[in-house]
Amino acid sequence: MSLILRLFFVLILFTPLFDVARTMQSERQSGEAPQEDLTQYMHSLNHLLAMLEQNNMEKAKEAVKQAKQESKLPNMYVPPIENALTTGDIASAKKIIAKIRGLVAASLGVSQQSESKSAKRTRGSQEEQKQQDDPTPSEPPLKRPITNSTSTITTTTPTPAQVPTIERLTVAAHSSEDRQSIEQNIFNLFDQAKNRVILVSDQLTAQTISNRLINIVKKNKDAKTPFTLQILVGDNGSGWQIEKQINEALHTPACKSILSGRNQIHRTYMADTYDAPLILGLENRRYKMHNKFIVIDDKVLLGSPNATYNAYHNNVESFVVIESEALANLYKSYYDYMLSEATVTEENHQKQAHAPQVSINALETQMNNFNIRSNVQVCLAPVCNIKNFIKEKIKDAIEIKMNAFLISKAEEGDIINTLISLKQKNARASILINIDSVMYESQNTGWFMQPAIKDLVNHNIRVRKITLQQGTPQGSFHDKLILIKHVRDGHEIKSVIIGSAGLTTDVQKNQNYENMIFIENDDRIYTTLEQHVNSFTPGNSKISNKVSQIEEAYASPAAAAKDNIRSSQKVGGVWWGGKIY
């Protein structure tokens, strides 16, 4: 009798699932599944899996009921999921939901391809040819998978034909308020390198980094496989001697025999300085390489610090370290893409091809595949639009704390307007932004920061100006960090956005090479970085020793409204690039 009952339950569970599979297969063939719906379905399924991971069957049932009422799951999904939950067998329920999740993932990928083909058909033959030669990326779908509440993040990798495997990603957060300096934290990771180091930084000026990188290569002289050291720097005029020193060292007999042959320093240039080539896929735009990340074997370090002495010792900065082979390979592809599409040599400032070539479409596919399988969401600009990425993540937040080096208006629907709309929609929402007072007052940057700050404060959003201690040189409040709280299903969800991008016009118009990541529902990482943000709060017993002064940008919204600040026009002809950040 027990065997008959088991067979009966299997039939109940899987017969509707076969219908789901047939329907999904039909949609894949016809390309009719709406991408927006598929993304929402994926989020709902992730949410269900998170409930089941906590062994909370009742909440999972409530979540299905709510998703059904709000059309966040189509009718064809509901019967097999409800049947799975009815059995009370959490393991079986997880398998069923994971199976459906895999089908959705496959359909989501096909939906993107179908939309691209449809868009091509609507253009004339001339535009179609242009699309083939210069493919413009569509915005990658914004997905919000659920994570667990620790700094070890669960990653689900679905496939259409089987239950997904689970990978554990370890995330660590660091800041300038750590006991160890940023330099020491990074050098500790350098010392662990066995196969590769890829350093990408807008600026490279620290002598200690040069010495460390050369020593890493020499230390691996007995390795069975060649060691890879690759460096990409931005167009800032500083750091030439450091780059020259590293290049010369890498070509000495002591290093040359160790290296893999793909090791060299590349420099990108802005178009207003040199005749830099257009980036393929995005016409009539020039791009600044503003990234800051390091790949060390299968670890990725990313955040606000450049490879400079100031960043490592004097500035206010933050970064995270994530261990994941898939993420490390994604950032390696991003590095190759930047070289393939928009790099010029320092000898003649002409575009130069570097193998392997990585197209914008290939990188977008790899990024989306990582994001759909991962609880850490990555946005690699200009493949992904950082403005839209951030807007989606802060939507409906009840609390936002932000450290921002630079911030400006861009256009209707920009991040400034999103924050204002959020506050207008929910007056109780708490929004606080810390900014660099020097950049706010500077003639070169105040012209775009001050109108933005005035608009924010005028709409009851608090903005604090942070002045750091005088030094030689003086540090900068160079952070790029957003802490976000949401409430979902009665639970507080704490999330983090961190990376290289300030909220400038160029970033919001997708005109820079930048990277940002979103880590959702991770209490440990959030708490660590919240302590860092709170160290710039007046009255805090653990206030940062870097701080000289903290003051409100305006005493009140009324004061902001009355302030007759300079017009939103650029003043002076010099950018702030002369300073080392």
Contact 49, 98 (CB under 8 A): yes
pLDDT value at residue 378: 95
- Distance, CA of 501 to CA of 410 (rounded, Å): 14
Is 0.75 topped by the overall pTM?
no
Burial of 476 (0-12, 13-18, 19+ CB in 10 A): buried
- Distance, CA of 252 to CA of 246 (rounded, Å): 10
pLDDT value at residue 431: 97
Strand 228-233, strand 196-201: pairing: parallel
Q: Is the dihedral of CA 402, 139, 505, 239 positive or negative?
A: positive
Which domains are seen in the chain, by residue range? 2-133 (no CATH), 163-378 (3.30.870.10), 386-578 (3.30.870.10)
SS3 category, 404: strand
Tokens 């959490």 belong to 90
SS3 category, 101: helix
The strand pairing partners of 157, in sequence order, are: 165
- Distance, CA of 17 to CA of 76 (rounded, Å): 9
| Residue 305 neighbours by CB under 8 Å, 6+ apart | 182, 186, 292, 311, 312, 315, 317, 319, 478
Instruction: Give the sheet arrangement for strand 299-303, strand by strand.
Output: 152-159, 162-175, 318-323, 299-303, 292-296, 196-201, 228-233, 265-267
Rounded mean pLDDT for each run of 10 residues along the chain, 581 residues in total: 50 45 44 59 78 78 80 70 75 74 59 40 40 38 33 39 50 92 94 90 86 84 77 67 70 60 46 31 54 96 94 95 95 86 43 60 89 86 93 95 92 89 95 95 90 94 92 83 93 96 92 93 94 90 84 83 58 45 72
The identity of residue 53, as a single letter, is E
| Residue 445 neighbours by CB under 8 Å, 6+ apart | 406, 439, 576
Burial of 68 (0-12, 13-18, 19+ CB in 10 A): middle
pLDDT value at residue 155: 37
pLDDT value at residue 575: 41
pLDDT value at residue 282: 32
pLDDT value at residue 23: 46
